[in-house]
Chains A and B, each alone.
Chain A
Amino acid sequence: MVGLYRYPPEVNVRRFIGEIIYALSGAIGMLAFIYPFFLSNQANDSIGIAHGQDAALVTTALVGLALIALLVELQGQAISAKTVAVLGVMVAITSVLRFIEVAIPMPGGFSPVFAPIILSSYVFGGRFGFLMGTFTMLVSALITGGVGPWLPYQMFTAGWIGMTAGWLSRVMPHTPRTRPSKRWLPRTHRHRPLTIIVLSVFGFIWGLAYGMIINLYFWPFAIGPIQQAWTLGTSLGETLVRYTAFYVATSLGWDLIRAVGNMVLILLLCAPTVRALARFQRRFHFEVRSVDA
């Protein structure tokens, strides 16, 4: 008789607490990016141009702490040797791509690192995806000399890209599921073109969103024309309008190139890459048991 495996209660409790840690870390990371939009109820008591310079440092420290907590949780769930090995090698591959990107400047914000993060996360899942995004940014920063205050934000955002790409495989599985899945979901393993289209649109959206999110960490401290600058005490609507003007004037063209680049790379690489990764994922299912067990 075939039945679903039920996890012991302590594992379910551990998973539940793990989900809370994900949610709290995600909320802190999110707040670090969007807090300028919610300061409309405060009086403007800043010192002229240097409005809250220390806030940047405090925010970076908070993002760093949230990232640390999430990493402790993620690796505390017992990372197997297989995950460690495949993660290390995949991060090395993606970091080499980033190195090439630095050595040979590419147009606009185009970067070849996001497509591998999205595709491998889609196959290996959200947890792997978060680690893949985070470590790719960290290792590539180490080898290209890109360590700086921007790094925690890049790590967090790239981690989100990987995590959300991993979630895609829950609603759009790349292999036939052994466990019964929801009937209303498309059986995408039989319709590869749909997977490719969805993933490339996903890459396009993240290409824009990455720039939009990363901009937010320095926008409150960037000084420019009043129509594009953040000031304490403005309403949420006005702040959104100003940020949109700032984004369109400074980054949209740059980010569009990244978004289109992601889409083209995924359209081109999705089918063979997902096939290769999925084959290795099945091969990685070997298990070692002690003789006594």
Chain B
Amino acid sequence: MLDARGWLLWALVALVAASSTRNPLYVVLLLLIAMIVGGVCAGDRDRRAIMSPLRFAVVAIPLAALFNGLTAHLGDTVLFHLPDWLPLVGGSVTLEALIFGAMNGLTLTTIFSGFTTFNRVTPLRDLVRLTPRAFHEAGVVLSIALTFIPQTTRSLNRIREAQAVRGHRVRGLRDWLPIVVPFLISGLERSMGLAEAMVSRGYGAISDQAQPPRTQRLLVLGLFLLLAGWLALLFLPTWKGIAVGVMILGAGIIVGVVWLAGRTVSHTAYRIHHWTARDTFAALGCGLTLAVILLPLPLMDRGTLYYSPYPRLTLPPFDLFIGLGLLGLVVPAVIGAAHRVDQT
């Protein structure tokens, strides 16, 4: 529906937003947005998820609350007292510390949920297509790996079945050897055949040409400026402006090298994706959220982004304009819903 670049932008803005606020109301709003977008845009495509955000939340939030509650003895509302002789956990367990820990868990859940949505809505091929042209060989390795994964899984199952037919039972670690070694060798045999096929089709004719020395020298310059700028930023705080400028220059050189290296690689695509008006709308929504989070805009109280339950628990503040700005991230869901209505 949306272009993979648009989804990448969405995920990055969601990450910036979630990590820039400590106000649980905004964090919950972002979590809801991520879940709505995932639900509307991904549909049934949830095969590539480690675990659902809900399952993650069930683990992360109580654990974070417990850890902080037991180890941070701050806050006025004392729930109970653990003996002082206990290392680390000895002292008062407060409501504020528990809430603060739960807030950390909530932020983690929101970041996780944002990237789960990104992983669900973006087809694997589109993600590989995002590989810059300069990484031609890296793209080939990625494609081979992704293409061979189903074959590799089938091969593992075949070997396990074959060994089982011969009476082999896996009872301990040592029993994996007769499975692992043939599995490895069959994979290497496949790579041998693939290498021969690639060479016979002339792959090496292009890839054996090393990059020009200019690229290497520019990379050295870019990395050096990046490192020097960062060191200056860390150790010479008074040089902050110059350091940031040097770092930007270094980053620019590296990005430029990637762009220049990419220009020498001809690229063809079987199915071309174009940036559409929908992508522009989604990007504008992301831009709105980013502006609300990062820029000191009038009529908005950016202080509400930071909230602490210490020393006594209070209700977190909420700025309506910031809340509305965060809703910019929901645009892909609106587009997705409209697209579904059009199709029906």
Residues of A within 8 A of B (CB): 10, 13-14, 17-18, 20-21, 24-25, 27-28, 31, 35, 38-39, 41-43, 47-50, 53-54, 56-57, 61-62, 65-66, 68-69, 71-73, 75-82, 84-93, 95-96, 99, 102, 131, 135, 138-139, 142-149, 221-228, 245, 249-250, 264-265, 268-269, 272-273, 276-277, 280, 283-284, 286, 288
Across the A-B interface, give the 5 residue pairs with the lowest CB-CB distance, nearest first. A88-B144, A76-B211, A145-B119, A89-B191, A85-B195
State which of A35, A144, A268 has its C-beta within 8 Å of the C-beta of B174: A268
Q: List 18 A-B contacts (CB under 8 A).
A: A21-B219, A21-B223, A28-B223, A73-B219, A77-B210, A81-B198, A81-B204, A86-B188, A89-B144, A89-B148, A89-B191, A92-B144, A139-B149, A149-B15, A221-B19, A245-B88, A265-B173, A273-B181
- Say if the beta carbon of B152 comes within 8 Å of chain A: yes
Chain B, residue nearest A23 (CB): B223
- Shortest CB-to-CB span from A231 to chain B, Å, is 14
Please tell me if the beta carbons of A147 and B191 are within 8 angstroms of each other in the complex. no
Please tell me if the beta carbons of B227 and A288 are within 8 angstroms of each other in the complex. no
Neighbouring A residues of B230 by C-beta, 8 Å: 28, 31, 35, 62
State which of A28, A85, A273 has its C-beta within 8 Å of the C-beta of B226: A28
Known: A76-B216, A93-B184, A144-B48. A149 touches B204 (CB 8 A): no
Taking chain A's interface residues, is the majority helix, strand, or loop, or is none over half, making it mixed? helix
Neighbouring B residues of A269 by C-beta, 8 Å: 177, 180
Please tell me if the beta carbons of B204 and A35 are within 8 angstroms of each other in the complex. no
Measured CA separation A80–B199 after assembly (Å): 9
- Say if the beta carbon of B10 comes within 8 Å of chain A: no
Chain A, residue nearest B294 (CB): A54
A interface footprint on B44-72 (CB within 8 Å = 1, 0 otherwise): 00001110000000000000000110011
Chain B, residue nearest A20 (CB): B220
Measured CA separation A102–B56 after assembly (Å): 13
Neighbouring A residues of B210 by C-beta, 8 Å: 14, 76-78
- Say if the beta carbon of B194 comes within 8 Å of chain A: yes
- Shortest CB-to-CB span from B197 to chain A, Å, is 8
Known: A57-B19, A76-B216, A145-B48. A86 touches B145 (CB 8 A): no
Measured CA separation A79–B207 after assembly (Å): 6
Please tell me if the beta carbons of A39 and B220 are within 8 angstroms of each other in the complex. no
Measured CA separation A240–B148 after assembly (Å): 44
Pick from B29-37, B135-143, B161-169, B272-280 the stretch touching chain A: B135-143
- Say if the beta carbon of B84 comes within 8 Å of chain A: no
Chain A, residue nearest B124 (CB): A142
Neighbouring A residues of B16 by C-beta, 8 Å: 57
Neighbouring A residues of B68 by C-beta, 8 Å: 223-225
State which of A78, A85, A96, A249 has its C-beta within 8 Å of the C-beta of B156: A96
Please tell me if the beta carbons of A38 and B187 are within 8 angstroms of each other in the complex. no
- Say if the beta carbon of B328 comes within 8 Å of chain A: no
Count class of interface residues, chain B: 35 or more
Neighbouring B residues of A95 by C-beta, 8 Å: 145, 149
Neighbouring A residues of B237 by C-beta, 8 Å: 42-43
- Shortest CB-to-CB span from B51 to chain A, Å, is 8
- Say if the beta carbon of B258 comes within 8 Å of chain A: yes
Neighbouring B residues of A139 by C-beta, 8 Å: 142, 145-146, 149
Please tell me if the beta carbons of B216 and A96 are within 8 angstroms of each other in the complex. no
Please tell me if the beta carbons of B111 and A149 are within 8 angstroms of each other in the complex. yes
Please tell me if the beta carbons of B145 and A72 are within 8 angstroms of each other in the complex. no
- Say if the beta carbon of B304 comes within 8 Å of chain A: no
Neighbouring B residues of A41 by C-beta, 8 Å: 235
- Say if the beta carbon of B334 comes within 8 Å of chain A: no
Please tell me if the beta carbons of B199 and A223 are within 8 angstroms of each other in the complex. no
Measured CA separation A216–B100 after assembly (Å): 21
- Shortest CB-to-CB span from A253 to chain B, Å, is 13
Neighbouring B residues of A226 by C-beta, 8 Å: 72
- Shortest CB-to-CB span from A288 to chain B, Å, is 5
State which of A17, A89, A223 has its C-beta within 8 Å of the C-beta of B194: A89
Please tell me if the beta carbons of A276 and B306 are within 8 angstroms of each other in the complex. no
Interface centre among A65, A93, A147 (most CB of B within 10 A): A93
Measured CA separation A38–B231 after assembly (Å): 10
Measured CA separation A129–B184 after assembly (Å): 17
State which of B50, B88, B127, B254 has its C-beta within 8 Å of the C-beta of A144: B50
Please tell me if the beta carbons of A135 and B215 are within 8 angstroms of each other in the complex. no
Please tell me if the beta carbons of A276 and B115 are within 8 angstroms of each other in the complex. no
Please tell me if the beta carbons of B187 and A90 are within 8 angstroms of each other in the complex. yes
Measured CA separation A85–B192 after assembly (Å): 7
State which of B19, B112, B216 has its C-beta within 8 Å of the C-beta of A56: B19
Measured CA separation A77–B128 after assembly (Å): 22
5 additional contacts (CB under 8 A) given A24-B224, A72-B219, A76-B210? A21-B219, A82-B195, A142-B127, A223-B100, A224-B68
Neighbouring B residues of A280 by C-beta, 8 Å: 188, 191-192
Please tell me if the beta carbons of A92 and B187 are within 8 angstroms of each other in the complex. yes
- Shortest CB-to-CB span from A84 to chain B, Å, is 5
Measured CA separation A149–B108 after assembly (Å): 11
- Say if the beta carbon of B26 comes within 8 Å of chain A: no
Measured CA separation A23–B173 after assembly (Å): 39
Please tell me if the beta carbons of A268 and B173 are within 8 angstroms of each other in the complex. yes
State which of A13, A76, A91 has its C-beta within 8 Å of the C-beta of B215: A76
A interface footprint on B206-221 (CB within 8 Å = 1, 0 otherwise): 0111110101110110
Neighbouring A residues of B234 by C-beta, 8 Å: 31, 35, 38-39
Known: A85-B144, A87-B141. A224 touches B72 (CB 8 A): yes
A interface footprint on B233-276 (CB within 8 Å = 1, 0 otherwise): 01101000000000100110011011001000000000000000
Neighbouring A residues of B306 by C-beta, 8 Å: 47-50
